[in-house]
Amino acid sequence: MEIKMADIKDAEEILILQKKAYKQEAELYNNYSIQPLTMTIEETRDDFKNHVILKAVESGSITGSVRAYEKDGTCYVDKVIVDPACQNTGKGTAIMKELEKYFPACRRFELYTGYRS
């Protein structure tokens, strides 16, 4: 697995993976209108303007991704995504560790999740 900066050309593949991964989250809450599932390709492309977006690539396919931005010394982490077929294999942890390298000046990292996650 290689983790590197995503490019706007990756937006569609990342969005497809995001919807696949967050489907499990929607099932957990019985709510299929959560923002990661309703997000559009335009909104995904807009995130490239103000977020660091990393991708995990394996055998030529994106199997994970994360988005983050910095404000006032805090790194706000958004949409940690791992292909459901690859979950619980350390990929999410590896993506998060790599993300930390992009924000060396941040004193803290914030990640929001649902209360059942």
pLDDT digits (tens, 9 = 90+) for 46-76: 999 999 999 999 999 999 999 999 999 999 9
Round to whole Å and give the CA distance between 27 and 107.
34
Number of other CB atoms surrounding residue 51 within 10 Å:
18
Q: Please report whether residue 91 resides in a domain.
A: yes
Cβ–Cβ under 8 Å, residues 11 and 41: yes
- Amino acid making up residue 81: I
Confidence grade of residue 106 (pLDDT, cut at 50, 70, 90): very high
Which one has a higher pLDDT value, 59 or 115? Answer: 59
* Parent domain of 31: 2-111
Total count of domains within the chain:
1
Position 117 in a domain: no
60 in a structural domain: yes
Sequence-distant (≥ 6) Cβ neighbours of residue 99 within 8 angstroms: 52, 54, 66, 68, 75, 77
Q: Is residue 41 part of a domain?
A: yes
Whether residue 70 lies inside any domain: the answer is yes
Residue 116 lies inside a defined structural domain of this protein = no
Helices (H), the chain: 11-29, 35-38, 41-50, 91-101
**Residue 14 phi/psi, 5° resolution?**
-65, -45
- Domain with residue 74: its CATH number is 3.40.630.30
What is the CA angle 43-64-80, rounded to 5?
A: 60
Domain assignment present for 49: yes
Per-residue pLDDT at 94: 96
